[in-house]
Structure 1
């Protein structure tokens, strides 16, 4: 929760296990964050509706409403960055979470230092999206980088997650050149790709559903042999 006069980044940790949430809260507080904890999705919803946070760390496996459902609600109601905690690193949980708009994921058990690094990367990416100037025009869309807003041909806003925004900017900056998956993963999640890491492909699919006339036969973002992607539409930076 962001308190008056407190300029620390505000985090919400959503986990039903006090043995995890409380030590994690203490650890993150000691690294310069203001941390609030919610024990379930209902409590998290109430806190998110009443207070302002910079990022949420959400455990997938919770009694009642699970973390995937909560993430879907967060993404439908805000642009709040989300990092998911996944039990045993189940690949399907990771894929579904990213498809629902999570910005990153971390399998349990995890090192607090790794979560700290992920939090800082996601926050830095979100802040970078707000601070970069200029805009891009492509395929009837206009991306305002400073405001992190994508507008369609009718002027309606197309909601983007932090990861989708970073992905689109990376493709726009490189257009019409091909950007390989390693570079895209570094741009969107601040880490190198692993051979079976499909998170970039999932983000591309989600972004295509938002901007392509027909996502099944994409004409704006093209897939290239060897694992790369390129913006096929003409892009103009203003």
Structure 2
């Protein structure tokens, strides 16, 4: 009887060893297969919510590809506006002439803006710097345009060369803002460089994008 139990135990141990070896071989094979797979740097899902708003990692995405529905009316984001005011106050302490120019725009208001730009500059030129209704970041309530008390520099390339724009480029991320359409990155963003156009994404992401000298499209691999 004792010998039978020894045989049974030995058999069970042998079976366990075989199963363990098979598991190790399978795991190593799977691991070697995964070594050949290059995952995206930011493998985050693109989520379209019920109201038709596209988000990646909780951030609203709107550009020439991803649009907002006409009935999306969040209004101005209070936290974003608060951080903007903090930044403008700091700029004033630095004796800089930086001011708020525009923020939230509804779908209908964007229609009016686009119409006026087309009337002034023609449709071909207007497309380079203005977004179609539903494709404007201003509709998110998270985007702001800033400028100076010198109107000729506002919404113009000359703003880039001002001390205000220089300070903004180096400090906006501290308050959670990015220059939404950076210089030399129009192939990714779809828009010409706008040193005055800010988008609130929070300090953490803003600093990453600033340090990497990139944009939302490239960072989230949306192109």
Q: Identify the TM-score tier after normalising by the shorter chain.
A: under 0.3
Instruction: Say which structure is richer in helix.
Output: 2
- Relative contact order (alpha carbons < 8 A, sep ≥ 6): 1 or 2 greater? 2
TM-score normalised by the chain length of structure 1:
0.27
Instruction: Say which structure is richer in strand.
Output: 1
